[in-house]
Amino acid sequence: MINQIINQVSEVPLEGITYKKLRPGKKPLTPEYIPPPPELVPAAKRAVCIDPSRTCMPFGAMWATLGVHRAIPFVQGAQGCTTYVRYTFSRVFREPASIASASFHEDAAVFGGRKNLVRGIRNLVCRYKPELIAIVTTCSSEVIGDDIQSFLAEALEMMEEEFGPEVLDLTRFVVVHTPSFAGSHVEGYNRAAKEFLKALSRRSGQPSEDLYFIPGFLMPGDLRELKHLLELMGVSFHVLFDISDTLDCPLVGMPNRIPYYPPGGTRVEEFVRAGDARAIFALSPDAGAAGAKWLSRRYQVPAFVLPMPLGVGNTDRLLKTVSEISGRPIPEAVRWERGILLDAMADTLHYTMMKRVALAGDPDFVAAATRFVCELGMIPTYILVGTKSASAAEEIWKTCEEYNCQPVLMNGSDQFEWEYALKQDPPDLILGHSRCVNISREIRVPLVRFGFPVYDRIGYQREPIVGYRGGERFLARIVNAILDHHYPDDRTHQ
Amino acid sequence: MNACGNQGCMPWRVKPCGQASEPGGMTQRSCVYFGARYVLGPVREAVHLVHGPVGCTYYGAMVRGEARDLCGTALTEREIVFGGLDRLRKALREVWSLYPRARGAFLYATCSSGLIGEDLAGLARQAEREFGRRVVAINCPGFAGKSQAEGHALAYQALLDLVRPLPRYRYPTVNLVGEYNVAGEAREIRRLLEKLGVRVHTVLTGDTSWSEIETLARAHLNLLFCGSTARRFVSELRQRLGIPYLKVSFYGLSATGASLRRIGEVLGLSSTRVEALIREEEAGVLARIRPWLRIFDQRRALVVLGAGRLGPLSRMLRELGFEVLGVASVFGSPEDHREAAPFSDFLTDDPGDDEFERALAVLRPDLVITNAREQWRAVKLGFPTLSFPQERRRGPYAGYQGFTNFVLSLARVLSAPVWGLLGL
Ligand code: SF4
Ligand code: SF4
């Protein structure tokens, strides 16, 4: 009955690109396009940054914090730095993200953020009862030169006076300094990884067999896939900053207790025991390695900084390392999954081989994806690494040497430069985030979305791209994009 | 919880509007720069240049969920220490050759540039002399106000300086001011006005360009949609250039009809023509929405939205048979609260996340209307939720066709089977 009525009611038609206009083979570029003067194309030669493919440092620290159980980031800055980030989380994950702001106004700009921090921490503790608060600084508080440690000490003192000493046991604190003018969200995550371990981890003297993992900006689906592999390996492990059950949670209705906290997240206790770990792995060299290295320096826990386990080679590398350090053989079930991925690659090689592909995104994603597309026989052409990264560059060049290709690497550039290159020399396929939609439309080249951020398609945060099974899903995404584009209306193509 | 200032008996501590947010209260408010971008983001023929670190540029490119061109100076530590004006000057020179068609530029200040004391206005004047193109500096560091509202005001102030005195058009023409063209709403409003023989010169700022703003004095009348952002702008225009303005609303049948009649009176249109249009359109809408009215009857709604939409939206809900349990603004003005007051006895400003959740727990509304950024909290707790600004695919909500869309959106939200499947 209801469906009938819906069908009868016609809505105001929407504008959009019609199927006809989407057909390939039409002349690219809009008629009003004026090419830029060539000397202004490279971002390094410009003062102006157009369409950056990176965002600000506090964002990374907030991401990490939201992967901790009952943890709230407290952003020491004006309200925009928080609200924009809440918006970004809400768009990517479609989940509530509780992030508090110090609400800087004129007085804070003049006198500093002492009052804001002291009052803010108190309000947060007494209204939300978090287990952990990460104080995340911003450009403003860093320019003003807020002395966070002394503010925090004052806040604790005041709270003890007001509520009694028990209040001090309620909440742990971590301070992360993230002035955005000194790095991007990738570096923000990196710093958070280090500061969390520095503030929380201890060594009890009783070494454990546990393996620790710092995932970087892996999505909930990826984290689940990672855990699945480690379970098959039969090792005991902890994933730090585990957003899988904080930013992808079931709808259950009104909880017994409000404020609502998502059920998951890494426990503070897990951070505390990190000093006893058998080994620590950073699965994103640029987002998290600082934490792993610090732990190894402080407590001599062996640290392994590996490329993101995306594709055959990278996943092999992770599993071999895990197998070596834990002394457990790689089980048959894992080999089975690997075989399925290889089977899928062989099945589809006619679609992927020699296809030219451009990539854009965060360094760890792009470096790992470059290796995967090379494994598929594709040829990377223009690679945009949104945040300048030496480790990503090294990994990309190593891959390219192995597979004998010579892409143009734009390390730390903006999308303007990369898109200009694509307009001159369109690839067959683009691998990038949602902000690559415009160029994909303009040059009529299909876009396969991956990495951060994907907000204009549904379910990408749940669908893994790491591990063998994730690789198989990612491959399917790539091949289907090619099929949709090159055979859009070919009903006979079976 | 009394120690925190919350009153246990009330779902929200009832706050008057216009107060600064409490630190750590999880406000939904944003910064002044955000407000400036909200208003100026869609202006065409202009270069938008942010003087600040890369983050503000990255985020500011999204305005009401749509990507807008935005450049930035991407300040680094060096410029924070030694000053960034040289970089900004160089950036300005570059954008003129990168965007040769642009008529002028908007320069946005941010927290960082504000704190290191960069004189954007001075630089803008200098650059105008040097390049012969308008450069308008907006002094909108994020901390320079309690919320985005101050940014809206600054943006309109900047636009005011562009407007030139000009003779009026010969045919009846209006500007739509404070209309942000969410999901194409301006198109529906334009359609109705054109049916009455009224032309629309420009839509501020949902569908406008630099040159349209410069020449907006050619219109006979400004139609004011969102009073909280643009009232000062239109009253200044009335004072300076003698363009009258009229507060209108195209949300809901009664408001749309009343607004069309007022516009007809002011522009001296034939009232039979106006009445005929209203009759025809209303009949069409009523026929289409009738089947749904039954499921709206006596349903209880909770509204948490920015500012200007509160009153019109509550009225629309009432018209459809809803009961409005409570209304909260995020950064409302007294005018917004006055507009919304007749529809709900429960009115407050700037709720934190915990207060929002408590309101849900206590009031148990059948429908939650809130902004896109915060909608998932209500969804997660199992409440049917409609978000604003709506995405493009849901279509405009203004005017008659928009009203149909709105009803359909509500019907989808309320009759979705998922809410009935919650228990196992
Ligand atoms: S730094 Fe300031 S201007 Fe930029 S988003 Fe944050 S609050 Fe707004
Ligand atoms: S770049 Fe700095 S000021 Fe801008 S949003 Fe990020 S932290 Fe805030």
pLDDT number for residue A167? 85
Strands A49-50 and B71-72: antiparallel
Cα distance between residue B179 and residue B224, in whole Å: 8
* Residue A31 burial by Cβ neighbours in a 10 Å radius (0-12, 13-18, 19+): exposed
Q: Do A371 and A314 contact (CB within 8 A), yes or no? A: yes
Whether residues A50 and B98 touch (CB distance < 8 A) is answered with: yes
Q: Which residue reads 């894992």 in tokens?
A: A334
Task: Find chain A residues with C-beta within 8 A of B374's C-beta.
Answer: 86, 90, 96
Chain A residues in contact with B56 by the CB 8 A cut-off are 56, 80
A233, A321 Cβ separation under 8 angstroms: no
Q: How confident is the model at residue A31 (pLDDT cuts 50, 70, 90)?
A: low
> CA angle at residue A210 from A205 to A212, to 5 degrees?
105
Q: Which two tokens stand for residue A215?
A: 């995932």
The atom of ligand 1 lying closest to the CA of B111 is: 2
ipTM of this model? 0.92
Mean pLDDT, residues B234-255 taken together: 93
* Confidence grade of residue A488 (pLDDT, cut at 50, 70, 90): low
- Domains, chain A, ordered by start: 57-191 (3.40.50.1980), 211-248+262-331 (3.40.50.1980), 333-491 (3.40.50.1980)
pLDDT > 70 in chain A, percent: 92
> In the predicted model, is pLDDT for residue B125 greater than 50?
yes
pLDDT digits (tens, 9 = 90+) for A425-447: 999 999 999 999 999 998 999 99
Domains annotated for chain B, with CATH where assigned, are 2-26+297-389 (3.40.50.1980), 32-145 (3.40.50.1980), 173-286 (3.40.50.1980)
Summarised one tens digit per residue, pLDDT across range B173-203 is 999 999 999 888 999 999 999 999 999 999 9
Q: Is the CB of A102 under 6 A from ligand 2?
A: no
Distance of CA B157 to CAs B150, B164, B212, B235, B237, Å? 11, 14, 16, 12, 11
Q: Which two tokens stand for residue A371?
A: 């290796």
Going by pLDDT thresholds of 50, 70 and 90, the confidence category of residue A75 is: very high
- Rg, Å, chain B Cα set: 23
Instruction: Say which amino acid occupies A423.
Output: K
Contacts of residue A47 in chain B, CB cutoff 8 Å? 73, 87-88, 90-91, 94
Ligand 1 center–CA B56 separation, angstroms: 6
pLDDT at residue B392, as a whole number: 82
pLDDT mean over A71-75: 97
Say if A80 is an interface residue toward chain B (CB within 8 Å). yes
Find all residues with CB under 8 Å of A425, minimum gap 6, and list them. Answer: A381, A382
Nearest to A49 among B65, B71, B415 (CB): B71
- Measured CA to CA, the distance from residue A208 to residue A75 in angstroms comes to 35
H or E element that contains B340: helix B334-340
Rounded to whole angstroms, how far apart are CA atoms A265 and A462? 16
| Helix, strand, coil percentages, rounded to 5, for chain A | 50, 15, 35
pLDDT score at B5 = 36
Selected residue with higher pLDDT from B423 and A61:
A61
pLDDT at A449 over 70: yes
pLDDT tens sequence across A199-240: 999 999 899 999 999 999 999 999 999 999 999 999 999 999
Identify the residue whose C-alpha is closest to ligand 2 atom 1: B55
Among B12, B22, B58, B95, the strongest candidate for a mutation testing the A interface, having the largest count of A CBs within 10 A, is B58
Range 217-276 of A in CB contact (< 8 A) with B: 249, 251-255, 258-260
- Assign A410 a pLDDT band (cuts: 50, 70, 90): very high
- Ranked by mean pLDDT, the top range of A474-483, B5-14, B308-317 is A474-483
Q: Which atom of ligand 1 is nearest to the CA of B141?
A: 3
Q: Do A120 and B24 touch (CB under 8 A)?
A: yes
Torsion of CA B139, B140, B144, B145, to 10 degrees: 120
pLDDT digits (tens, 9 = 90+) for B89-109: 999 999 999 988 899 999 999
B352 pLDDT exceeds 70? yes
B288: distance to nearest CA of chain A, Å? 7
Whose CA is closest to atom 4 on ligand 1?
Answer: B56
Q: Which pLDDT belongs to residue A61?
A: 97
- Among A56, A75, A136, A139, the one annotated catalytic: A139
User: Do the beta carbons of residue A378 and residue A407 sit within 8 Å?
Assistant: no
Cα of B259 vs centre of ligand 2, distance in Å, is: 42
> In the predicted model, what is the mean pLDDT of chain B?
90
Q: Who among A14, A139, A144 is closest to B53 (CB)?
A: A139
